[in-house]
Structure 1
């Protein structure tokens, strides 16, 4: 019997029938497998028997559960297995034999030492796509260092360009190195599955938080690589476009983006300064960049005189790109979020009705879906082990020895 038969045929979506063994924890790997699960893949999440995924205990924003964990782990079945033991490693090998994808984010060589590396697993399943997410890749002087979002943001230049000029560097709020790695891993896995359709064989994918971080600053990296200039730290402002930042109003903040001459001319008129449009200091974007320290205070002085609602009204009427600086809760509660299905409600076995983010895309013919709430620690262990040939006595023995 296959461990996948329990849900085969129940999932819709473009990845229905794709089978994934998820050995990852924390954020990058789990978010990647959640994306694939949302698209219909059947994901079995394997956690260590003691405590499980570290994100289960990172916060208490949701009563009785970690919001961090809930946000990364829907549409998965959860089992426990201690891969440090021969018996736990054997469970993973059996799962991998019948899987399409295995994803892990241990340090390099950790799973190789337990006979769970790609070179061994592909012998029993040559169609396996094996994705490894590390902190700094598989070569080089940093290869054995732990991969964490804050460390990667610091070492890859993201913190150095985030924050206000003259003040301490700031970590970008969301863990963008982790999220970037998750998105890139999803793309790479889909590409490898497509290649397998042609060649009949799987392959190994290696990517890192470092490579993901550099991918996120591609527009800035080109300048840094081909000049001797560093990207300045400008708060909400943009180093390559002016004005393109949040401005303080009399009761809040409004974000404004002037990306072409048409918007600039209209903006100058709204501010009561039409002459700025032809002022040699401000006429072109390159001029405004060079004279940022003169122009921005002029704009700030005028924007600060009226409310956010006033500026949104007049800017929107003139079709100038703008938005209020909203809190996360305000943004999630906005009617636009509801209209696009960005917030949904699912049923959690312990928490009851639970609101969560919806799918960020729509398909006309094969839509994804939210089928399973994030699993409790080891919730599906017995069922999955039974499906891959373990008897009730075997399962009891493994539980007694803390392998599962």
Structure 2
């Protein structure tokens, strides 16, 4: 067993999640010091173990799995069998939090639903992450990231004005649901510290997706009009978009009128300041196509690097559109320590993307590399539950572990 550190040190999580939303939640808890026991199906494990290629070089571990499963102890248990369910109950006696992302009602078939556990474990915090939440007409449906992006509206906002709807290039519906789940758990822990009372956290991916529609969602509520797809332009600010340069593209973000004035005076565009179509941000938004057409010849006159240097000197936000190779080579990203090396059970050294939460007194802890399947089954059952080697071997013989 490992010795965690961090603000959640001393807490133990029983992790019945898989794929991305749930594992994102539990990895955050693990990074902050909680001991996370990840329950996986014998022989198969988390689905994402097979989400490959790519595998990490010279291993059988998928990059996908490695990305969201550090700081977890892998224990294989077949929860469909009574002996497996009994083991889960024994583990719960030592756990503060249960996180799961099964379909609504699925764990109840195994005696592990919230209603079945809350009386026996009154201090238990039980976080359920599903596609559509525990209630409502869609509750029984499975949830997938692309489906939620489509149903949650973000695809209608993403893409070129005359193009087809587009999903975001990373699974943001899963990631946001996991992070909202973590926030809910932390709030429930604070409540339990004050009252001794546990509770269930009901996270629906569609709910969280609607919540982060943010300014675009509010734009609709305020007007009753569906916001159009704008490509890389901002619905409420102009110019705030990509522009072509002499050697590629850049993002130019002019956030207010004084900044636009500074931009125009620095680059020979003073005449625009006397034009009412450019004078204020609302007018520039109303005439966004004209703004783009007017500034494009100017932006093509310099390279991206030249623009970044010139605009940074004027305190005007501008940046390159980086590939991932450029992102991870960026000196600022490197200075912020956003890649972490960890030894792995395969014998290889792997790298993972770091936790972005910078805590001055209790920083994230990288103590346990993403585990191979069942790596900690014997040690957890022996050290935490006091089971003998013979008892563990007997359960393996029956296919329980």
Which interval holds the TM-score relative to the shorter structure? over 0.9
Paired position in structure 1 for 2:318: 322
Q: For 2:392, which of 392, 395, 401 is the aligned residue?
A: 395
Gaps of 5+ in 2: none
CA offset at residue 367 of structure 1?
2.2
Paired position in structure 1 for 2:202: 206
Residues 334-373 of structure 1: pairs in structure 2 closer than 5 A: 334-373=330-369
CA offset at residue 401 of structure 1?
2.5
- Measure the CA separation in 2 of the matches of 1:161 and 1:205: 29
- Measure the CA separation in 2 of the matches of 1:172 and 1:319: 29
8 Å CA contact 1:96–1:121 kept in 2: the answer is: no
- Measure the CA separation in 1 of the matches of 2:96 and 2:307: 53
Residues 151-166 of structure 1: pairs in structure 2 closer than 5 A: 151-166=147-162
- Measure the CA separation in 2 of the matches of 1:270 and 1:230: 37
- Measure the CA separation in 1 of the matches of 2:378 and 2:119: 27
CA offset at residue 253 of structure 1?
1.2
Aligned CA RMSD, in angstroms, stands at: 1.4
CA offset at residue 202 of structure 1?
0.6
Query: Number of aligned pairs?
Result: 397
CA offset at residue 351 of structure 1?
4.8
CA offset at residue 394 of structure 1?
2.8
Q: For 1:14, which of 7, 14, 27 is the aligned residue?
A: 7
- Measure the CA separation in 2 of the matches of 1:53 and 1:85: 18
8 Å CA contact 1:98–1:125 kept in 2: the answer is: no
Gaps of 5+ in 1: 1-5
Which of 349-358 and 179-188 deviates more?
349-358
Q: 1:178-220: per-residue Cα shift (whole Å, max 9, x none)?
A: 1111111111100100000111111111011111111211211
1:43 aligned to 2:39?
no
8 Å CA contact 1:345–1:356 kept in 2: the answer is: yes
Q: For 1:239, which of 232, 235, 238 is the aligned residue?
A: 235
Which of 271-280 and 286-295 deviates more?
271-280
1:66 aligned to 2:59?
no
- Measure the CA separation in 2 of the matches of 1:92 and 1:385: 11
CA offset at residue 31 of structure 1?
0.8
Structure 1 residues 249 and 80, CA gap change in structure 2 (3 angstroms): same
Residues 119-130 of structure 1: pairs in structure 2 closer than 5 A: 119-130=115-126
1:92 aligned to 2:88?
yes
- Measure the CA separation in 2 of the matches of 1:137 and 1:358: 30
Residues 254-265 of structure 1: pairs in structure 2 closer than 5 A: 254-265=250-261
CA offset at residue 296 of structure 1?
0.9
Which of 235-244 and 192-201 deviates more?
235-244
- Measure the CA separation in 2 of the matches of 1:23 and 1:34: 12
Which of 91-100 and 68-77 deviates more?
91-100
Q: For 2:146, which of 144, 150, 161 is the aligned residue?
A: 150
CA offset at residue 175 of structure 1?
0.8
Residues 170-181 of structure 1: pairs in structure 2 closer than 5 A: 170-181=166-177
Paired position in structure 2 for 1:55: 48
- Measure the CA separation in 1 of the matches of 2:327 and 2:235: 26
- Measure the CA separation in 2 of the matches of 1:110 and 1:318: 58
Paired position in structure 1 for 2:213: 217
Paired position in structure 2 for 1:3: none
- Measure the CA separation in 1 of the matches of 2:147 and 2:348: 37
Paired position in structure 2 for 1:137: 133
Q: 1:71-127: per-residue Cα shift (whole Å, max 9, x none)?
A: 100001001111111122222111112211000001100011211011222233211
Which of 26-35 and 289-298 deviates more?
289-298
Q: 1:304-355: per-residue Cα shift (whole Å, max 9, x none)?
A: 2321111112111111011111111211121111211222212112152222
3-state SS in 2 of match to 1:359: coil
1:228 aligned to 2:221?
no
Paired position in structure 2 for 1:308: 304
Q: Which runs of 4+ in 1 moved over 6 A?
A: none
Paired position in structure 2 for 1:76: 72
3-state SS in 1 of match to 2:390: helix
8 Å CA contact 1:276–1:283 kept in 2: the answer is: yes
